[in-house]
Amino acid sequence: MYGRSMYGRSMYGHSMYGRCMYGRCMQRPYTHKILYKLIKPKNMNAFFAEFFGTAIILVFGGGVVANVALSNTKGNNSGWIVITFGWAVGVFTGVLIAAPYSGAHLNPAVTLALVLANKFSINLLPMYMCAQLLGAMFGSFLVWLAYKKHFDATSDADTILSVFVTAPNIRSYWYNVITEAIGTYVLALAVLYMAQPEVGLGALNALPVAIVVLGLGLSLGGPTGYAINPARDLGPRIVHFLLPIASKGKSDWKYSWVPILGPFIGASIAAAMYLIFKVV
């Protein structure tokens, strides 16, 4: 599901060098080689898969938070368990849609872990992260559009912000980083083992990671709201900053680095542990 080639061969199977034109070979600069790789149709398919897959996660996840938190919704005050199930179903749906085309990373921390574990090309890392961030922004924008009247009816700035970003109940930045790192470590390590062909489940490949996300929300979501995905927090935070929401407050940029650094640390540790276990 994660990190496997969708096309039965490497994306890098064709050389950019040695082609001949008018009887002599033309060599292209290295930068042109990289750009060509990034804009090949297969890679663009992967870009849009990551974009829409991440957007789907935010539509479900941001949507369920809006339903629970905003004023005058059908699901108002329905609780944390409803929120965790909404996010898990979002992950299931996003992975289901994106997996055949991109491997369904849908998370910069997951992409980093796969690169560090030698399961994914570092050349594609910027493109995947860009697609994930833009997808998260688009998904959170759709949530705002769907709940526009409920945002207008909600006067509490913190409640409005909670639809877009995570925030700790007890603000202690480095402990918050540790919480995010632990949660992402569990997620990334699970994903690295799910990427093994021998444990593939076909169309149900999306189910195991959704269950892991559900468990993380129920178990470790209490302190920080379990971002465990830098794009999931940063993208919607940017959208919150840009949107004309009447009663919104500040976008809490002082905390914004926590759900970025924590997941990247956790993903890096997971990749290191995976490589150690693999050697042993």
The mean pLDDT value for 249-276 works out to 97
Ranges of H-type helices in 70-105 = 80-102
Ranges of H-type helices in the chain = 30-39, 41-69, 80-102, 108-116, 125-146, 148-153, 157-164, 173-194, 206-220, 230-242, 258-279
pLDDT tens digits, one per residue of 99-149? 889 999 999 999 999 999 999 999 999 999 999 999 999 999 999 999 999
d(CA 210, CA 93): 9
Mean of pLDDT over the chain: 86
Buried b / exposed e across 184-212, counting CB within 10 Å, b at 16+?
bbbbbbbbbebbeeeeeeeeebbbbbbeb
Confirm if 61 and 210 have CB atoms less than 8 A apart.
Answer: no
> What single-letter amino acid sits at 137?
M
**pTM greater than 0.85 (yes/no):** no
The mean pLDDT value for 243-268 works out to 97
> What single-letter amino acid sits at 211?
I
Among residues 219, 239, 261, 272, the alpha carbon closest in space to that of 135 is found at 239
Which structure tokens are listed for 130? 């860009």
Q: Quick one: pLDDT band at residue 278, thresholds 50, 70, 90?
A: confident
d(CA 5, CA 13): 12
Domains of the chain: 20-279 (1.20.1080.10)
Which structure tokens are listed for 76? 């108002």
Q: Quick one: pLDDT band at residue 271, thresholds 50, 70, 90?
A: very high
Q: Does the structure show a pLDDT above 60 at 269?
A: yes
In angstroms and rounded to an integer, the radius of gyration of the C-alpha atoms of the chain is: 20
The region of weakest confidence among 16-30, 38-52, 84-98 is 16-30
Question: Which residue shows structure tokens 């789907």?
Answer: 56
Question: Which residue shows structure tokens 């040695």?
Answer: 18
